[in-house]
Chain A
């Protein structure tokens, strides 16, 4: 029996090659997209899994919730916590800290700026990395020791076993390599491959441990924090420990921290595999992914599969009449409806199987490109990945049965009496209404996906450009602002202007330099501060909303050089600050005075200007309330605005000027544009992913539409011949055929628009700054879909309409 079914299925497939190809290719593309999305999602959920006991290894995070303000969580916690936590909480098995820094690392001619970490000697007891060479249990016990990965060993030394070699840091001190680790996978939150002993005399950890906390620092000051990892003993409850830490903190901080009133602190142990899914935690080493993106991608994967399945169902049912004789004969021979349903579902499974094989071959071809795009190492372990194999099998069965059910029911419903006597009916199988409904559903999904892609793309370009509300064109930054060097660079013809700052002016990473502001009414407000140059605002094209900004012509705007003088320099504030300080408008703030918690002798400062909220990260984090003043002693970041002429030559000269005028520190320079693109790499990647998904969905839908159009034209051959014989012209026929597919596409917009509006509006509201959804976006999405449908159907309709009428009339 199965041989009979298989023979019928195979030969039917070969005989109807065009439609079989459309079905198989459409399903294959859909499957490939779903498999790639599934692999990506699985990869996202696999972070830190290379570590033994990853689920029981935690990062201590802390959160501050000022009264009336949103909660802000941080991956950085006070360095002193580890020592008293180990003593106070017996449920902690091991606790360790790392302090991250960025420095030039050199061996021979190879010198690279690297993130590296100062680490407590017991780091590898908590983060149990696999070692290649050396003993990790003692590798960091020696004060001037360093451990690096295999990849770093090859970069600096050209080989793996480099235990005993030395590396130079910051051109000023050397550390000895005591162990080499196996390379860390890309799926980790760690952004360093070099771990130096915290016992070193140069260690940032040692600096933090040996100094008292700065008096102006709040508990979670970003400049006074480390990453604290711990392992708990079996059966210890992380949630209970979270509360216990919160209860214990006041006893240990003892009023040493400078907090604005009403700030509530909480602490949470986050298991390492979950860190990657916590974009709400600031100061993380690597960007986390928003879990809603994972959900959205899964949903999109399902939608693509639905689009492909709709194609399959539509084409199979439309062509069901081709199998009517077979169904009639089998029924006459005694086949029950169940036998026929089983036969046709079996055929559907065959199509799905072929499609999956093609899809997996496509996935293998696309994986290297996907890995390069994402910076990951996703691969399929064909021999051992049981979960993957079972998933593929489940997908084949579910899609094959679900998508094959309706066509099977349609085909098995043919009555022998109706199909076996006389000429075959030229009507297609199944309800035309259901087919139209499926096309409508397909295009509603397509319009929604295209709209979503367009909105994500617009929001991304907004984030990279106008969302920042500053002009970043031709601006290059360097973390060096020595006066002699600055003057030499300013003299270059290719340099238009230079301004320095302390690095907080552009609000990188949501960084804030904490400050307490007392308004004239005595209200205290937690704020951020930035020391900027006289021409900082002009360099970035930021115009004041009220009052004025600092200017090179007004040297009096500068903070006094006398450390004993009260802090009374004029300040510029941003719009958020004006609101939080109680001013009803920017203009009202001008001339008013506020007191900043700076120095030993804070005095009232006059607000001379209010600027718009601007920052590099404006789209993702609402700009904090910020107070700007000019204090050249705090400058560390140089911003260079180029003219655009001779740019490569200018960029080549600047490092040479550093060699002449700078100190022995390594020099670096980067375009602000590059920094911004790197910062929003995840958003850009999302936009690209969704664009790819939209193209895939469009391709599948067009394949299906093409198949249906071809079949419909074939069905209406006699009608077309008669119409042409009666005088219809080519374009009359094209319009007739195209209009039958235009109706569902137009109607699809009525479903897609409200659904898309609801979804995208909610997505956009997750950003503090975002684009508005404009009517033209919806019309454009619908229009694009319609035009593509017309092109798909119209080409074939034109060919059919061009055929001679006599060919059609001989059809019968």
Chain B
């Protein structure tokens, strides 16, 4: 599904150039559940931003479903992201002024989905993550685990081909973290490709494949059972 070839990403200020990614090559198949690990500052989030079409690489090739998108314009990236990708963030990033249902609905309103269809799909997504009874609550009224479940529902409601999760359990306690991992595993088992950045060895052990980064480079790949 995704093929990265010699991807480099540099950030330049007036005085300093930082090479966040250095010659990263990676292939991820449809339906894979991949964990990306590494110490702070190794380029995990930068890699996730490129994979999620939130940023464009400085050099290299990125094939998304066979299309070369490394030089896509912002408009093209937005359209592709809208159609194919869902995000789950460490700090949940729910909109404080919207209720649970309205937060999930945000993922659909830019796709031209009719209001009645949006309502049906939001309800289904909330039920899938077992938070339907809190549809009218505001994010501030939920626990961390509940908020992350809402974020997952938001990522799933548009039926994306790819879900990117940036340390989805980082702000959660063990029990909630395990619950979230359970949800993500379920999503991956249903055929959606899931790429997860994590610091947790325990959670990385639950996935089929782990990619380790160090100083912007891929230093190892581990397959479960191998």
Inside 8 A of B199's CB, which chain A residues have their CB? none
Distance of A149 Cα from B90 Cα, bound (Å): 81
Q: Does B121 contact A (CB under 8 A)?
A: no
Q: Does A326 contact B (CB under 8 A)?
A: yes
Of A334-342, A466-474, A475-483, A696-704, the segment with at least 4 beta carbons within 8 Å of chain B is A334-342
Distance of A417 Cα from B99 Cα, bound (Å): 24
**Smallest distance from the beta carbon of B153 to chain A beta carbons, Å?**
13
| Known A-B contacts A7-B98, A329-B106; A334 and B93 likewise in contact (beta carbons under 8 Å) | no
Of chain A, the residue at the smallest CB distance from B75 is: A336
Q: Does A4 contact B (CB under 8 A)?
A: yes
Of chain A, the residue at the smallest CB distance from B87 is: A332
Q: Which of B20-70 contact A (CB under 8 A)?
A: 45, 49, 52, 54-55
Distance of A748 Cα from B89 Cα, bound (Å): 46
Number of A-B contacts (CB under 8 A): 79
Q: Does A69 contact B (CB under 8 A)?
A: no
Q: Which of B71-121 contact A (CB under 8 A)?
A: 75, 78-79, 81-83, 87, 89-91, 93-99, 102, 105-111
- Of the listed residues B54, B82, B108, the one surrounded by the most CB atoms of chain A closer than 10 A to its CB is B54
B78 partner, pick from A334, A417, A420, beta carbons under 8 A: A334
Is B110 a contact of A330 with CB atoms below 8 Å? yes
**Smallest distance from the beta carbon of B184 to chain A beta carbons, Å?**
18
Q: Does A564 contact B (CB under 8 A)?
A: no
Inside 8 A of A333's CB, which chain B residues have their CB? 82, 106-110, 154, 158
Q: How many residues of A contact B (CB 8 A)?
A: 28
Inside 8 A of B154's CB, which chain A residues have their CB? 333
| Known A-B contacts A333-B110, A334-B78; A326 and B105 likewise in contact (beta carbons under 8 Å) | no
Inside 8 A of A328's CB, which chain B residues have their CB? 93
Q: Does A138 contact B (CB under 8 A)?
A: no
Is A7 a contact of B78 with CB atoms below 8 Å? no
**Smallest distance from the beta carbon of A347 to chain B beta carbons, Å?**
11
Is A421 a contact of B106 with CB atoms below 8 Å? no
Q: Does A645 contact B (CB under 8 A)?
A: no
Q: Which of A331-389 contact B (CB under 8 A)?
A: 331-336, 339
Q: Does A325 contact B (CB under 8 A)?
A: yes
B89 partner, pick from A330, A331, A420, beta carbons under 8 A: A420
Interface string of B109-153 (1 = CB under 8 A from A): 111000000000000000000000000001000000000000000
Is B45 a contact of A421 with CB atoms below 8 Å? yes
Q: Does A11 contact B (CB under 8 A)?
A: yes
Is B54 a contact of A11 with CB atoms below 8 Å? no
Distance of A15 Cα from B140 Cα, bound (Å): 12
Of chain B, the residue at the smallest CB distance from A322 is: B96
Q: Can you pick out 8 interface pairs between chain A and chain B where the beta carbons lie within 8 Å of each other?
A: A7-B102, A11-B97, A325-B96, A331-B78, A334-B81, A334-B83, A334-B107, A421-B90
- Residues of B participating in the A interface, judged by any CB pair closer than 8 Å: 45, 49, 52, 54-55, 75, 78-79, 81-83, 87, 89-91, 93-99, 102, 105-111, 138, 154, 158, 166
- Residues of A participating in the B interface, judged by any CB pair closer than 8 Å: 1, 4, 7-12, 15, 325-326, 328-336, 339, 415-417, 420-423
Listed from nearest, the 7 A-B pairs whose CB atoms lie closest are A334-B82, A11-B97, A334-B110, A417-B54, A326-B95, A417-B49, A333-B107
Known: A329-B94, A333-B110, A417-B55. 5 other contacts (CB 8 A): A4-B102, A11-B96, A326-B97, A329-B95, A334-B82
